[in-house]
Amino acid sequence: MTFLPVHAIVNLRMLFLLIGACCILVGVNGGWDEEVGLLRRGGGGAGGGYQREFNYFKLSLQWPGTYCRRTRRCCSSNACCSRSNSPPVFTIHGLWTEYNDGTWPSCCSGKAFDEREISTLLEPLRKYWPSLSCGSPRSCHHRKGPFWAHEWEKHGTCAYPVVHDEYEFFLTTLNVYFKYNVTEVLFEAGYVPSDSEKYPLGGIISSIENAFHATPELTCSGDALEELRICFYKNFEPRDCARDTSALSRGSCPQYVSLPAHGSWVLSVSTMRLNDQDQARNVKVGVPHLFALWTNRLEAAIQQQLLSLQNSLWLVQLI
**92-102 confidence digits (pLDDT tens):** 999 999 999 99
Question: What's the sign of the alpha-carbon dihedral 82, 87, 93, 94?
Answer: negative
Choose the catalytic residue: 98, 155, 217, 262.
155
Choose the catalytic residue: 93, 150, 226, 227.
93
Question: What's the sign of the alpha-carbon dihedral 249, 254, 255, 256?
Answer: negative
Which domains are assigned to the chain? Answer: 45-318 (3.90.730.10)
Q: Give, in order, the Cα–Cα distances in Å from 109 to each of 160, 165, 308.
A: 10, 11, 36
Report pLDDT for 93.
96
Amino acid at 293: L
User: Are the C-beta atoms of residues 155 and 149 closer than 8 Å to each other?
Assistant: no
**Rounded CA gap, 264 and 271, in Å?**
18
What is the reported pTM? 0.70
Name which of 190, 184, 256, 268 is nearest 225 in CA terms. Answer: 256
Active site residue 93: yes
Active site residue 262: no
C-alpha atoms less than 13 angstroms from C-alpha of 151 in its C-beta half-sphere: 22
Active site residue 164: no
Report pLDDT for 69.
84
Choose the catalytic residue: 53, 151, 153, 166.
151
**115-171 confidence digits (pLDDT tens):** 999 999 999 999 999 988 887 776 687 677 789 999 999 999 999 999 999 999 999
> Phi and psi at residue 306, in whole multiples of 5°?
-65, -40
Helix (H) / strand (E) containing 318: helix 293-318
In the predicted model, residues of the chain with pLDDT beneath 50 are 3-4, 6-10, 12-38, 40-48, 85, 246, 248, 264-298, 300
